[in-house]
Amino acid sequence: MFESQGFFNIDGVALEYQRFNPAQGTDLTLVFLHEGLGCVAMWKDFPRQVAQLTGCRVLTYSRAGYGRSDPCPLPRPLSFMHDEGLRVLPKVLAAAKIQRAVLVGHSDGASIALISAGGVADTCLQGLILMAPHVFVEELTLASIRAAGTAYETSNLRERLARYHGDNVDCAFLGWNRAWLDPDFTDWNLETYLPQIKIPVLLLQGEEDNYGTVRQLETISKQLPQPAEMVLLPECGHSPFRDRSTRTLQLIAAFLQRHFNCGF
């Protein structure tokens, strides 16, 4: 396994990345897109495990304002996920010289993956693996984000996040929290992108997810041109790759084997 890390320069902004290239693998690259409070480091060992199990190359990167990437100005525009999926992500794929990609997104990262797959005419994208995606705003989501805001002010949440984001911690948390809770964000919706997505899709969500209901997965599945594979994970919250790591690895490996003949 060859591992490397560094920074992409995207429009003058440094974005940290980490790559895993199996010694004997395929040219298919899994591009991991983190959640609203995530970054490269918060995936922990999961991307490496996926690369080892499947033989696929893996790229993770931190969006601006997260991890060791450059900061970004606040407040974040309410179009921040659209900006990432339509403008930044294609430039990251180009900078990484990726020719065949499967996007592996979690939460906000999964929404960004849907925007990119449905809004960018790029034959590079071969498939989507989406964990806890959002395509519209639910009260459950907003209630949990409000609760996170309270925890950020009254508990050690800020300190814990700072271990991963360093000086970006306020940029990461407040940019995410305030955008989602902005009254003008209530009408945010990605359903118009779904009919354009004509690649294989795997949908994963925990049955105990406190940031979204199964309606998100059902809405996506109904509006895609071809059926998606949908799995609800018992005893699992918002983060399948953390809460049910082994099962999530198995599901990803099986999906890649079925559609791309990856794996050993």
pLDDT in tens, 130-185: 999 999 999 999 999 999 999 999 999 999 999 999 999 999 999 999 999 999 99
Tell whether the model's pLDDT for residue 121 goes beyond 90: no
What is the torsional sign of CA 224, 113, 250, 211? negative
Q: What single-letter amino acid sits at 91?
A: K
Binning pLDDT at 50, 70 and 90, where does residue 249 land?
A: very high
- The model scores a pTM over 0.95: yes
Where do the domains of the chain lie?
A: 2-260
CB-based contact 72:175 (threshold 8 Å) = yes
> What span, in angstroms and rounded, lies between the C-alpha atoms of 38 and 40?
7
pLDDT surpassing 70 at residue 59: yes
- Angle between the 139-154 and 169-181 helix axes, to the nearest 10 degrees? 140
pLDDT (mean) for 101-128: 95
- Are 229 and 201 within 8 A, CB to CB? yes
> How confident is the model at residue 23, as a pLDDT?
85
Q: What is the CATH number of domain 2-260?
A: 3.40.50.1820
